[in-house]
Amino acid sequence: MHGVSAQNSTSAQLPKLIIQIPCYNEAETLATTLADLPRDIAGFDIVEWLVIDDGSTDSTVKVAEENGVDHIVRHTSNRGLAYAFMTGIEACLARGADVIVNTDADNQYCAEDIPSLAKPVLEGQADMVVGARPISEIEHFSPLKKLLQKLGSWVVRVTSKTDVRDAPSGFRAISRNAAQRLIVFSNYTYTLETIIQAGRKNMRVVSVPVRVNGDLRPSRLVKSIPSYLKRSVFTIVRIFVIYQPARFFGAVAAVLFGLGFLIGLRFLYFYLTEGVSGHVQSVVLAGVLLTMGFQSLLVAFLADVIAANRKLLEDIRYTQRVMQGQAGNESSASNERKGWT
């Protein structure tokens, strides 16, 4: 099994790590977060920082510049966490990252755990590593939130067929190859979707235990438990529809056909035993359900065809990303031979 270093164009050069931080009005906490980030990590030749400014209206960019951030990518308006995450992924790939570590600007995650987070990717043992927080020990998490976090992680594990212990964790390391394959459809959050997507694409996803720091500000993603639960369920169902459309609509068709068949049997039973012409409602309902079941079956076939086309488009996009990366590496190598900076 080959590690990340095998991806480099120059065998003597160690991999490059970029730590990305999506930010929206994080001027008060960003400096604290950056102060803890490492500049040197064993196994990496270069460690850089990248901040994604998601349309901040405060001095987030100024704080980033004053604290030595290497790259700043800006949105002209607020696009949401998921969009900012993917902007960062694209920017890291364009800047030659072999491994990308994503962390939050509120200093929730312990930066000292970044080496252990990146190690499985560096050694070629994983495509994506998700930091598992000690949920039961986090004091500012309510009992209900802890329960929902664990329940949500269980649902994601079942759906993605991975062994991720803390699915909502944004503290994660991603290999270049895996990052080139990721596409986020949600406008809300990337955490659940990327794990389900990675599992469905047969990527190696592992968890490592990580520590957390004290709470600097309330979560902006979880404004209320009902809202977070509703959005998370919608995200999971949506991803399942996208990646398993035939199974999803096939299951709907099976339920409708089953109900229609049972109600039809009920009418037939009364007709044969009582010999009356009543129970017309059962006949109508059975007919409606059987018709809906047939329509759902047709949708399942159509969705499966669309899914095949989507997979083809994703493969084309992945190939384009790889070719662009190779072209960038060749250009950089050429400039180095010519002595350009």
Mean pLDDT to the nearest integer, 63-80: 94
Residue 185: phi and psi, rounded to 5, are -95, -30
pLDDT tens for each residue of 305-329: 888 887 788 778 778 777 776 665 5
pLDDT at 125: 94
- Residue 100 banded pLDDT, cuts 50, 70, 90: very high
pLDDT tens for each residue of 264-302: 888 888 878 876 666 778 888 999 999 999 999 999 999
More confident residue, 29 or 136: 29
Can you list the positions of beta strands (E) in 12-132? 16-23, 46-54, 71-75, 99-102, 128-132
Residues 244 and 252: their CA atoms lie apart, in Å, by 13
Residues 105 and 82: their CA atoms lie apart, in Å, by 14
pLDDT at 221: 61
Residue 336 has pLDDT above 60, yes or no: no
pLDDT at 54: 94
Residues in CB range of 129: below 8 A, 6 or more apart: 117, 118, 120, 121, 172, 173, 174, 205, 206, 207, 208
**pTM of the prediction?**
0.76
- Residue 18 banded pLDDT, cuts 50, 70, 90: very high
Mean pLDDT to the nearest integer, 328-334: 53
